[in-house]
Amino acid sequence: MPVVKNDPQNRRHISDYNVRGKIVVVRLCLCLAEMKKDWSDHALWWEQKQQWLLRPAWTLDKCGIHADARLTFTPQHKPLRLGLPNGMTVRLRACFSGPTFRTVMGICKLLSMRHPEELSLLRPVEEKKKKKDKEAQEEVYDLTGVPLTSGADEMYRHAALCLSGSVPNLYNGMPAHFADSPQTEAVYKMLSISQPPPAPEVIAKMYRPASVVDKAHIHSRWLDSSRSLMQQGIQENDRLWLRFKYYTFHELEPKYDAVRLTQLYEQARWAILLEDIDCTEEEMMLFGALQYHINKVSQSEPQAMMSCPAMDDLDSALQSLEVKMEGESSSMDMLLTSPSISASRPKRLTLKGYKQYWFVFKDASISYFKSKEEGFGEPIQKMDLKGCEVAGDVNVAGQKFCIKLLIPSPEGMNEVYLRCENEQQYSRWMAACRLAAKGKSLADSSFSSEVKNIQAFLSMQHSNPGAASAQNDENINTHSLVSPRYHKKYKPKQLTPRILEAYQNVAQLSLTDAILRFLQIWQALPDFGVSFFVVRFKGSRKDEVLGIAPNRLIRIDLGVGDVVKTWRYNNMRQWNVNWDIRQVAIEFDGNVNIAFGCVTADCKIVHEYIGGYIFMSTRSREQSDTLNEELFHKLTGGHEAL
Amino acid sequence: MDQLSDDELDHAAEEDSDKEDQDLDKMFGAWLGELDKLTKSLDDGKPEKLRKAPLRQETNLANFSYRFSMYNINEALNQGDPVDLDALMADLCSIEQELSSIGKPNSGTSRLPPPGEAKLRQRPPAGHSVSGHGRPLASNFSLDDITAQLEQASLSMDEAAQQSSAGAVSDHEVRSLGRSPRSSINSASAGSMDSLDMEKPPRPPEVDGLQQPAPQLPSQDTIAVCLQEEQAAKLKAEKIRVALEKIKEAQVKKLVIRVHMSDESSKTMMVDERQTVRQVLDSLLDKSHCGYSPDWSLVETITELQMERIFEDHENLVENLLNWTRDSHNKLMFTERIEKYALFKNPQNYLLGRKETSEMADRNKEALLEECFCGSSVSVPEMEGVLWLKEDGKKSWKKRYFLLRASGIYYVPKGKAKASRDLVCFLQLDHVNVYHGQDYRSKYKAPTDYCLALKHPQIQKKSQYIKYLCCDDVRTLHQWVNGIRIAKYGKQLYMNYQEAMKRTEAAYDWSSLSSSSIKSGSSSSSLPESHSNHSTQSDSGVSDSTCSSHARSQSVVSSIFSEAWKRGTQMEESSKVRVSP
């Protein structure tokens, strides 16, 4: 029978072997592996039947192999080009022989991401010919050199270790296998630090699902978790996407999840930029502000995320003591220095326009006087800013720097407009108002950073929109932060103050907190985590949409988009698939039965999705150290279960 | 008595402390009179005082709180209700004791003058020259002083620590910690004393707590030097921690409040600004000896606006009460409200967005709560529908289609579909609280009586910034109010509930010691009060969820799902049989 030896160095040797059916697989392998080389990763692939011969003790007869069989002796691990959630491509060696579920475990281990069960692989959206040329020049991070522990047991053990939350050994703040060379260190940096905002043109060019049906088509691309890559026709050096598939993120822990958090953030960010998930304008502005902040912070302190030793109790106590003492003494200081802040005299809006007053900012309140000379007497009015709402109205080009204050009082809200003369003054007063609104005084340690933040943000307005596409670190086109819909609706200049407004609520967040906040808001969106499939319900004549969410199934009218009915997994009694007619049938409490056939995706994918979510919900906090692979396959595998 | 000057009052108080049991009422009267006089003089002598200490007027909130609480007391007295003077008296006595303990070092008999005193005297001029305005700064004054004391104390502690052995250290720590509660009260009262009495030089009460033990420490040099250094460092850490606590406590505000009970009576009590609503509830429950139930609530009633709100357990009571105006007719009520935690007793009626009430098995309820509140983010229930909105400044109400999202309340603009991108933001929830409107049908001509209002907590009078919404039925109203609470407070709300349930359980455990008849499953029978007062919404969930703990719910979820998959796999197997010939 012909056996093809797939050897990357020596091309292919095709040779005929005369073997008896009684020979066991392992013996055959040994015969083939006579050369001085490490053949341990090789195994036999039976092309016609699309299956691996992985049981060494079975005879060829038992495997069902006859003389006409064509076997290939080939490595089980082959290079794969993997598109990550952040849009980058990594070339790495992945397992082509085990179930995809295990392949993903291996990949996640290599990328040091915990909870591989939440991710899966899918075939990328076909790109147009024109783009193919471009792709050739695309930067590919190479990880194929990193030694892979081939044994499945080893992989198991490591996955368990990762899951258990025990601190992985870190070198230079990264897992050991990344610390080998500068190249791999660069890869780790790419994995764990979020990418700068994409140029608006890039966003506009990318594929955006326009309708629910488009979204449903994406989900038809998921690979089958219970079969191997080879079985699903994936070849060496093929391109696949790695994505979070199940939207239940178990125990996000910044300490261990640097890569996982970053990639999750990137996936969420792209989902929002590409309008994969709908949100309101206010939410979009907040997402924009958070992206801006995350980008800014991750560039200024790239190391902070890796080495974040929890501050010692005493340290924090001492620090807060310092702040306290500082605070006490400098509330006097501010009294002294406040005239210098207001030296250029902000103005106040009255009905007739702005009128000049002498303003003094002290503690958490603003007083104003007719003139500087009267600044020691009784103010005309004193406004306590605690709990007030602060908004900016800025136009750098028009030299307009206004602060709008909405100050609560028993009678209602007082609207006050302060007009500053220049950027410098505006940022100081704005920062002071922001702090005062939170009940902090000027002496608070965050004052200067607040001022800097505002100044940095204002600088975005300096650039004119034409030159904005040439980006640098300091200067981001605000169109990079929002989805194309808002590119049409607003100019970058108009967008800046809106994002700035939202930004002020998040400017003080640390990098990790900002990322977590972004994810939280994303998860709080009503459509979060819903994967769509076009299906046809039993007894119905038209196509409808089935949304599969982490906790429920949703039946959606395809035409109108309204939710027709929701079923929760909690009420689910059983579900099964009739593989003959490819129909999924589910029974809920109270004798509710539904059945549907799938239109846009294979029913195996739908079945796996539902089973996967139920598997996710069986994970408990106490037993996070074990990944019950067997259970996953039981729940998702259908008739091909292990 | 009214003629007493401040100093004399102190002396009087001091004398009283010797014969504490006598004439409490009389002393109370004197206190009130004095406080009254002071507040009046503060009001009357404003310009004059301002010249002396204009800054104090602005910054000292303690001042305000006393004036504020005076109103409550006067009101209580004027009404001639049988006010619970005993409770208040106890609080006042403790203050009086503090005063006397401050008064004693003042007379300077046995103790050394605190070392910080010299600094204290020099500080004000220093501040003076820095500010350059020629104003003494009363509020900073005492704190500067305290910090000066602390520095001094830390120095002496270091010295002491270097000589001390481990045993001595722990001894010392125990002593200084044991003392801290008392001295912290001292400091609190000292702060308020300052606010009332300018002429009197502020006393540093921490001194006796921190410094006294230091010289007494015995030296038994048996431990290696390095160990001693370690000890010294530890000691320093401990000391700084204590000092920090004290700095914090020095600024604690206290408020005398009057709480209306459900039976028309009222209780007067003192709360300090660090107390959460839960803590106040606990102390009220202790005092009133009513059966423990998680439904006990503090309800804020804003008479003028005809609205009320149940304070959430985690909220700070004083902070909320300070929003009331001085002449406010607002009321604080202590009463059982079934709707406070109805959300958690029957979550299926609130979280699933269904139109009709339904029953649910308890384990499913727990699973549902777990799912909603214990994930990485809280999922806000999908609330949407037509509500009536009162037009700004008009009497008319208009229908709009509203949606609740985590980021706020939105409405669908005219002629648009309800796609997220087209929604208009009606209100963001950061700055507003949600209130139940009372009888708006007659007050504002509302279409129904099921109204809710959203306003900034500081707004106390009619204003265009208050938003009024009206629902078609009571169920929708409760769903919206609870939805808004979830969007606003998130997981905190669930934690409050669990905490309340824990206390209930503890209360039952305790009572079961005396009467062993109460068993876990039948606790509803021991809760007659909770059901008698309230007619609406029978809550069958009370008894069972009372006894369930969070830990249990964990396993319940997984068991549900393991059951689910068992069935699932069974079916798969059966389908396998069917498929394979």
β-strand partners of B36: none
Class of residue A593 by CB neighbours under 10 A (exposed 0-12, middle 13-18, buried 19+): exposed
Please say whether the dihedral angle defined by the alpha carbons of residues A430, A435, A441 and A446, taken in this order, is positive or negative.
negative
Q: Which chain A residues contact residue B127 at CB under 8 A?
A: 332
Helix segments in A438-552, DSSP class H: 447-462, 484-489, 492-503, 511-524
Count Cα neighbours of B154 within 13 Å in the Cβ-side half-sphere: 19
Mean pLDDT value across residues A609-615: 91
pLDDT score, position A414: 82
pLDDT score, position B254: 81
User: Which structure tokens are listed for B320?
Assistant: 């909320």
A525 in reach of chain B (CB within 8 A): yes
- Least confident interval from A164-168, A269-273, B129-133: B129-133
pLDDT band at B177 (very low <50, low <70, confident <90, very high): very low
pLDDT at B140 over 60: no
CB within 8 A of B155, min separation 6: which ones?
Answer: none
Tell me the C-alpha to C-alpha distance, in Å, between residue B446 and each of B68, B386, B390, B472. Answer: 34, 15, 8, 10
pLDDT score, position B2: 44
Please say whether the dihedral angle defined by the alpha carbons of residues A316, A319, A323 and A328, taken in this order, is positive or negative.
positive
B326 in reach of chain A (CB within 8 A): no
Q: A576–B144: do the CB atoms touch at under 8 Å?
A: no
- Least confident interval from B70-84, B276-290, B336-350: B70-84
Is the pLDDT higher at A169 or at A588?
A: A588
B510 in reach of chain A (CB within 8 A): no
Are the C-beta atoms of residues A204 and A484 closer than 8 Å to each other?
yes
Per cent of chain B over pLDDT 70 is 47
Nearest CA to B320 out of B253, B419, B384 is that of B253
DSSP string covering A154-192, please? Answer: HHHHHHHHHHHTPPPPEETTEEGGGSSSHHHHHHHHHHH
Which residue of chain A comes nearest to B368, CA vs CA?
A570
Reported ipTM: 0.79
Are the C-beta atoms of residues B185 and B98 closer than 8 Å to each other?
yes
Spatial separation of the C-alpha atoms in residues A95 and A79, rounded to whole Å: 9
pLDDT band at B148 (very low <50, low <70, confident <90, very high): low
Class of residue A283 by CB neighbours under 10 A (exposed 0-12, middle 13-18, buried 19+): buried
Phi and psi at residue B175, to the nearest 5°: -65, -45
Chain mean position to CA A621: 22
- Least confident interval from A286-295, B368-377, B379-388: B368-377
Q: State the nearest Cα–Cα gap between B18 and chain A, in angstroms.
A: 38
Q: B568–A614: do the CB atoms touch at under 8 Å?
A: yes
The angle, 0 to 180 degrees and rounded to 10, between the axes of the packed helices B225-250 and B166-196 is 20
β-strand partners of B451: B470
Spatial separation of the C-alpha atoms in residues B182 and A78, rounded to whole Å: 72
pLDDT at B273 over 60: yes
Mean pLDDT value across residues A508-517: 91
Spatial separation of the C-alpha atoms in residues B510 and A160, rounded to whole Å: 44
pLDDT band at A555 (very low <50, low <70, confident <90, very high): very high
Which residue in B140, B405, B564 is closest to A331 by CB distance? Answer: B140
- Least confident interval from A70-84, A165-179, B22-36, B72-86: B72-86
pLDDT band at B402 (very low <50, low <70, confident <90, very high): very high
B144 membership: H or E segment, kind and range: helix B138-163
User: Which structure tokens are listed for A603?
Assistant: 């029913």
Spatial separation of the C-alpha atoms in residues A20 and A296, rounded to whole Å: 67
A326 in reach of chain B (CB within 8 A): no
Mean pLDDT value across residues A415-436: 82
pLDDT score, position B159: 53
Q: State the nearest Cα–Cα gap between A342 and chain B, in angstroms.
A: 17
Nearest CA to B67 out of B43, B31, B94, B98 is that of B43
Q: B352–A578: do the CB atoms touch at under 8 Å?
A: no
CB within 8 A of A239, min separation 6: which ones?
Answer: A80, A81, A82, A83, A89, A124
Q: Does this model's pTM top 0.90?
A: no
Is the pLDDT higher at A15 or at A101?
A: A101
Tell me the C-alpha to C-alpha distance, in Å, between residue B221 and each of A167, A290, B113, B174, B217. Answer: 42, 58, 30, 21, 12
A480 membership: H or E segment, kind and range: none
Report the range out of A356-365, A383-392, A510-519, B388-397 with the highest average pLDDT. Answer: A510-519
Mean pLDDT value across residues A339-343: 33
Is the pLDDT higher at A18 or at A290?
A: A290
Identify residue B432 by its one-letter amino acid code. Answer: V
Spatial separation of the C-alpha atoms in residues A307 and A255, rounded to whole Å: 9
A236 membership: H or E segment, kind and range: none
Tell me the C-alpha to C-alpha distance, in Å, between residue B161 and each of A39, A317, A318, A420, B156. Answer: 69, 20, 18, 55, 8
User: Strand A412-420 to strand A531-537: parallel, antiparallel, or no bridges (unpaired)?
Assistant: unpaired
Mean pLDDT value across residues B49-78: 42
pLDDT band at A6 (very low <50, low <70, confident <90, very high): low
- Least confident interval from A372-386, A601-615, B15-29: B15-29
pLDDT score, position B480: 94
Q: For A99-146, what is the HEC assignment?
A: EHHHHHHHHHHHCCCCCHHHEEEECCCCCCHHHHHHHHCCCEEECCCC
pLDDT at B301 over 90: yes
Q: Which residue has the tokens 């475990």?
A: A105
pLDDT at A42 over 70: yes
List the end-to-end C-alpha distance of chain A, in Å, as a whole number. 30
Per-residue pLDDT of A55-108, as tens digits, reads: 888 888 888 887 778 888 888 899 999 999 998 899 998 999 999 999 999 999
Taking a contact as any Cβ pair under 8 Å apart, which residues of chain A between 227 and 256 contact chain B? 248-249, 252
Q: State the nearest Cα–Cα gap between B570 and chain A, in angstroms.
A: 9
Identify residue B67 by its one-letter amino acid code. Answer: R
β-strand partners of A222: A122
DSSP string covering B500-552, please? Answer: HHHHHHHHHHHHHHH-TT--GGGGGGG-HHHHHS--SS--THHHHHHH--HHH
Per-residue pLDDT of A202-223, as tens digits, reads: 888 888 888 888 889 889 999 9
pLDDT at B220 over 50: no
DSSP string covering B512-524, please? Answer: HHH-TT--GGGGG
Taking a contact as any Cβ pair under 8 Å apart, which residues of chain B between 255 and 284 contact chain A? none
Per cent of chain B over pLDDT 90 is 18
User: Which structure tokens are listed for B546?
Assistant: 């009372």
Per-residue pLDDT of A176-203, as tens digits, reads: 778 778 888 888 888 888 888 888 888 8
Spatial separation of the C-alpha atoms in residues A610 and A632, rounded to whole Å: 11
- Least confident interval from A348-352, A578-582, B345-349: A348-352
User: SS3 of B334, please?
Assistant: strand
Mean pLDDT value across residues B420-436: 90
Q: Which chain A residues contact residue B579 at CB under 8 A?
A: 578-580, 639
pLDDT score, position B512: 54
Spatial separation of the C-alpha atoms in residues B7 and A183, rounded to whole Å: 78
User: Strand A531-537 to strand A544-548: parallel, antiparallel, or no bridges (unpaired)?
Assistant: antiparallel
Buried b (16+ CB within 10 A) or exposed e, A320-351: bbeebbebbbbbbebbeebeebbeeebbbeee
pLDDT at A317 over 70: no
Mean pLDDT across chain A: 77
Q: Which chain A residues contact residue B561 at CB under 8 A?
A: 569, 614, 617-618
Q: State the nearest Cα–Cα gap between B191 and chain A, in angstroms.
A: 15
Which residue in B130, B431, B555 is closest to A332 by CB distance? Answer: B130
Report the range out of A247-256, A416-425, B190-199, B331-340 with the highest average pLDDT. Answer: B331-340
Tell me the C-alpha to C-alpha distance, in Å, between residue B339 and each of B172, B276, B297, B335, B538. Answer: 50, 20, 10, 12, 11
Spatial separation of the C-alpha atoms in residues A281 and B424, rounded to whole Å: 8
Mean pLDDT value across residues B19-30: 50
Identify residue B77 by its one-letter amino acid code. Answer: L
Spatial separation of the C-alpha atoms in residues A270 and A277, rounded to whole Å: 10
Which residue of chain A comes nearest to B382, CA vs CA?
A526
DSSP string covering A535-593, please? Answer: EEETT--S-EEEEE-SSEEEEE-TTT--EEEEEEGGGEEEEEEETTTTEEEEEETTTEE
CB within 8 A of A118, min separation 6: which ones?
Answer: A244, A245, A246, A248, A249, A250, A616
Please say whether the dihedral angle defined by the alpha carbons of residues A400, A403, A406 and A409, taken in this order, is positive or negative.
negative
B261 membership: H or E segment, kind and range: strand B254-261
pLDDT band at B563 (very low <50, low <70, confident <90, very high): low
pLDDT at B548 over 50: no
Q: For B50-82, what is the HEC assignment?
A: HHHCHHHHHHCHHHHHHHHHHHHHHHHHHHCCC
Q: Which residue has the tokens 């219970």?
A: A226
Mean pLDDT value across residues B548-565: 46
pLDDT at B478 over 90: yes
Spatial separation of the C-alpha atoms in residues A559 and A211, rounded to whole Å: 10
Mean pLDDT value across residues A2-22: 56
